[in-house]
Amino acid sequence: MFNKRTKIKQLLEGDKANFETTVMGWVRTFRNNQFIALNDGSTNNNLQVVATLGLLDDATMKRITTGACIKATGEIIESLGKGQRVELKATAIEILGDSDAEKFPLQPKKHSLEFLREIAHLRMRTNTFGAIFRVRHSLAYAVHKFYNDRGFVYMHTPIITGSDAEGAGEMFKVTTLPLDGTAPKNDDGSINYKEDFFGKSTNLTVSGQLEGELAAMSFSDIYTFGPTFRAENSNTTRHLAEFWMIEPEVAFNDLEDNMNLAEDFIKYIIKFAVDNNGDDLAFLAQRLEEEEKQKPQNERSEMGLLDKLKFVVDNDFERLTYTEAIEILRESNHNKKKKFQYLIESWGTDLQSEHERYLVEKHFKKPVILTDYPKEIKSFYMRQNDDGKTVAAMDILAPGIGEIVGGSQREERLDKLLQRMEEMQIPVEEMNFYLDTRRFGSCPHAGFGLGFERLVLFVTGMTNIRDVIPFPRYPKSAAF
């Protein structure tokens, strides 16, 4: 069998030596015509393959270049040199795939993240991105494990949606109609979508929440985990046009239950990565530390990556209402000395990211859950509080990332929901499928959305969201 080989991770972690094996992987460096640092992606650590003199002819030797793929067979022995416990003393080396050294863009040296972003198809072969995407995998696995262990049903909500009113931003249109102006038209000149593939106007989903609510009205506890799409012209380190979102929706939960679920969930998956990806996180922590050294002293973070993750897992998130947050901000020296670009004056305006950062990074120095926002700045489906001014919303803000979770208790009372939809000009006739849940056996329920990439950012210590998804999609960019 061709693929009979041992993974490098297994060889390096085992405590055995003096046995025959075969490894396959990609050459990172080739030193002294003798030492091959081989990586197969199972771990960031390389296996040292030793090609003793005379094993290879000159022509084959020349083909062992950075990036080449090789198969090496030999004996695992305790290393004669320092720096590694074991090494492979090769008895045979076969080139599986050549890599022209003059053209292969990755060199055994430091590259900028901007450059690597241009070669996203090859950047996974670097230590940094190898670590990031193994951590990303673990986090994704932990998401499913967390909900499965608690009896949640994983719902696949549609990616193509017929609902125009998911209410979370600009949508990408999905159509098979021609774009050259010859699409069928209505009498008033608008496009006649009855002729389109689905017989109506359709878009890529911006959220699975509405469908998730329908499912929660049947299974009690559900979650979604899938891609979502926003056609916003957002050019930031925190936004993508295509990103993955986790949206649990739970019948019979109120806002406090919702907060407890979100906090437990975040702590669980971070702990899972800490417990299962120690090597990768240690590498990323060291990388971050070196990057921090470039910064001036006052901009450096007080904690290293691993300490920060441990702190989040071990400590309660700070919970306070929007109204309390406004008071803290208004009374802060920062506000009084007019250091905010947008000064806090009155109740009712939305918080700017500088305010969120102040609360999270300066005042509390831990994740913060803000609740009970003014209804004017939140979505129609959020449950109205008895004060008539606020809704049962909650946002979780993380240090360095900002909003990582947005959620709420949903409005289960049909009359209140209809009234809110009217005020916010949501087309009721298109939402009948959603309103049916309030007509037939409505119940209190709550849920939230967590941006997966933002969580990966937080756990890996990376700063640009384009570096934590394999093939990022953002304005003017859909390469690969």
Partner RNA sequence: UCCUACUUAGCUCAGUUGGUUAGAGCAUCUGACUGUUAAUCAGAGGGUCGCUGGUUCAAGUCCAGCAGUGGGAGCCA
Q: Which of residues 60-119 bind RNA (CB under 7 A)?
A: 62, 65-66, 79-84, 87, 89, 101-102, 105, 107-112, 114-115, 117
Burial of 314 (0-12, 13-18, 19+ CB in 10 A): exposed
CA 216 from chain centre, in angstroms, equals: 24
Q: Which of 72, 90, 216, 240 binds RNA (CB under 7 A)?
A: 240
Smallest distance, RNA to C-beta of residue 386, A: 24
Q: How many residues bind RNA (CB under 7 A)?
A: 73
Our finding on whether 192 is near RNA (CB under 7 A) is no
Q: Within 10 A of 17 (CB to CB), how many other CB atoms are there?
A: 14
Smallest distance, RNA to C-beta of residue 4, A: 25
Which stretch of DSSP H or E encloses residue 212? helix 209-219
Smallest distance, RNA to C-beta of residue 217, A: 21
Smallest distance, RNA to C-beta of residue 215, A: 19
Q: Which of 82, 85, 90 is nearest to 23 (CA)?
A: 90
Our finding on whether 403 is near RNA (CB under 7 A) is yes
User: Which residues within the stretch 328-357 sit at the binding site for RNA (CB under 7 A)?
Assistant: 350, 352-354, 357
Residue 470 and residue 476: Cα distance in Å, rounded?
Answer: 17
Smallest distance, RNA to C-beta of residue 20, A: 17
Question: Which one of the spans 52-60, 155-163, 191-199, 322-330 is the region binding RNA (CB under 7 A)?
Answer: 52-60
Residue 153 and residue 143: Cα distance in Å, rounded?
Answer: 12
Per-residue mark of binding to RNA, 112-151 (x: CB under 7 A): x-xx-x----------------------------------
Residue 213 and residue 271: Cα distance in Å, rounded?
Answer: 28
Give 444 or 449: the residue with its C-beta nearer to RNA. Answer: 449
Q: Which of 175, 193, 173, 176 is nearest to 184 (CA)?
A: 193
Question: Which one of the spans 15-23, 227-235, 380-388, 439-447 is the region binding RNA (CB under 7 A)?
Answer: 227-235
CA 231 from chain centre, in angstroms, equals: 18
Our finding on whether 207 is near RNA (CB under 7 A) is yes
- The residue assigned the tokens 């499965």 is 148
User: Which residues within the stretch 434-473 sit at the binding site for RNA (CB under 7 A)?
Assistant: 449-451, 453-454, 463-466
Which stretch of DSSP H or E encloses residue 418? helix 414-423
Per-residue mark of binding to RNA, 282-321 (x: CB under 7 A): ----------------------------------------
Residue 309 and residue 2: Cα distance in Å, rounded?
Answer: 42
